Amino acid sequence: MAVCKVCFRHCNIPEGGLGFCGARTCLNGEVTAANYGRVTSLALDPIEKKPLSRFMPGSMIVSAGSYGCNLRCPFCQNNQISWSEEAMRQAVRAEYIPPEELAAIAAAYRSRGNVGVAFTYNEPLIGYEYVRDTARLVHEQGMVNVLVTNGTATQQVLGELAPYIDAMNIDLKGFTEHYYNEVLGGDFRMVKEFIAGAARICHVELTTLIVPGENDTEDEMRALTKWVAGLTDADGRPIGTEIPLHVSRFFPQFHMTDRRATDVRQVYRLAEVAREQLKYVYTGNC
């Protein structure tokens, strides 16, 4: 049995068992990634789909995902590979692609405009070892690495990845402890610390999905963007107002079908509120 140190849960995993995320296990008394190299999704996407609007726009990027997640968002759009019963079946069917092979795939798609690899679809931080090992090889090819994440991981994990990640899109799903801790099963403080640390090491963009009745007030958007605007670099210089924010529309799905899709007018209004503090605000799913 051993304690996992990836996120706030600190799962005590028995030998051969799995942590809460369904992707970390204990082998010979040490925690390791059970999903290492196990790829469930692989595609060549426009980089704007990550979404990244101010990092190499117009590029394509090889996007790879595994299985498992350490949050429990009831509206998860990738639930088939995150935390549903289907996700566990995907774990069995996942194809093993070693780091060397994924880096080679990225290089092979240069002729189609590919600039690197995006680790996405499920939560990549719960398998950070594979991200680290692959990203190092992608850098050796002269290409870039992108992380699309919920930001629920320790500073130690961030430090492991820091030399190899060029850009991140991080979900800042709301701005209250109740929403993060009770609705999503996350840790509000850890996400904020991860975002603050990431913004000091690479290009960062944020995404906030607006869910009716949960995080859709102007007051909450003002609190969120005020915090983002106050972020600083390692030398204390302000950088927050330059961080792009994607304000995205919710559609009912998975375990949250008890409410309507977000009113488009509300998404646009909250984007206007966000622009009171931030220079770059985009709307999505509208």
Query: CA-CA distance, 157 to 234, in Å (whole number)?
Result: 18
**Cβ atoms 110, 54 nearer than 8 A:** no
In this prediction the pTM is 0.97
pLDDT at site 6 = 98
Q: Which of 175, 131, 130, 123 is nearest to 152 (CA)?
A: 123
Instruction: Look at residue 83 in the predicted model and tell me its pLDDT.
Output: 82
Q: Which is it for strands 203-210 and 245-249: parallel, antiparallel or unpaired?
A: parallel
Amino acid at 231: L
Domain boundaries defined on the chain:
35-284
Which residue type occupies 23? A
pLDDT score, position 14: 97
Picking from 186, 221, 220, 237, the residue whose alpha carbon sits closest to that of residue 73 is 186
Q: What is d(CA 55, CA 162) in angstroms, rounded to the nearest whole number?
A: 17
User: In CATH terms, is domain 35-284 a member of 3.20.20.70?
Assistant: yes
Query: At 272, is the secondary structure helix, strand, or coil?
Result: helix
**Residue 86: per-residue pLDDT:** 74
> Of 257, 264, 253, which is closest to residue 286 (Cα–Cα)?
264
Q: What is the pLDDT along the chain (286 residues), one digit of tens a residue?
A: 899 999 999 999 999 999 999 999 999 999 999 999 999 999 999 999 999 999 999 999 999 999 999 999 999 998 888 886 776 776 767 899 999 999 999 999 999 999 999 999 999 999 999 999 999 999 999 999 999 999 999 999 999 999 999 999 999 999 999 999 999 999 999 999 999 999 999 999 999 999 999 999 999 999 999 999 999 999 999 999 999 999 999 999 999 999 999 999 999 999 999 999 999 999 999 9
Q: Which of 130, 104, 110, 164 is nearest to 39 (CA)?
A: 130
What pLDDT score was predicted for residue 79?
87
Q: HSE-up of 105 (CA within 13 Å, CB side)?
A: 17
Question: For residue 172, which amino acid is it?
Answer: L
pLDDT reported for residue 82: 85
Burial of 72: CB neighbours in 10 Å, binned 0-12, 13-18, 19+ = middle
What does the pLDDT read at residue 85? Answer: 73
Give the pLDDT of residue 94.
86
| Cα separation, 47 vs 60, whole angstroms | 5
Q: E strand or H helix at 172, and its extent?
A: none
Q: Would you say 57 and 47 are in contact if contact means Cβ atoms under 8 Å apart?
A: yes
- pLDDT reported for residue 87: 65
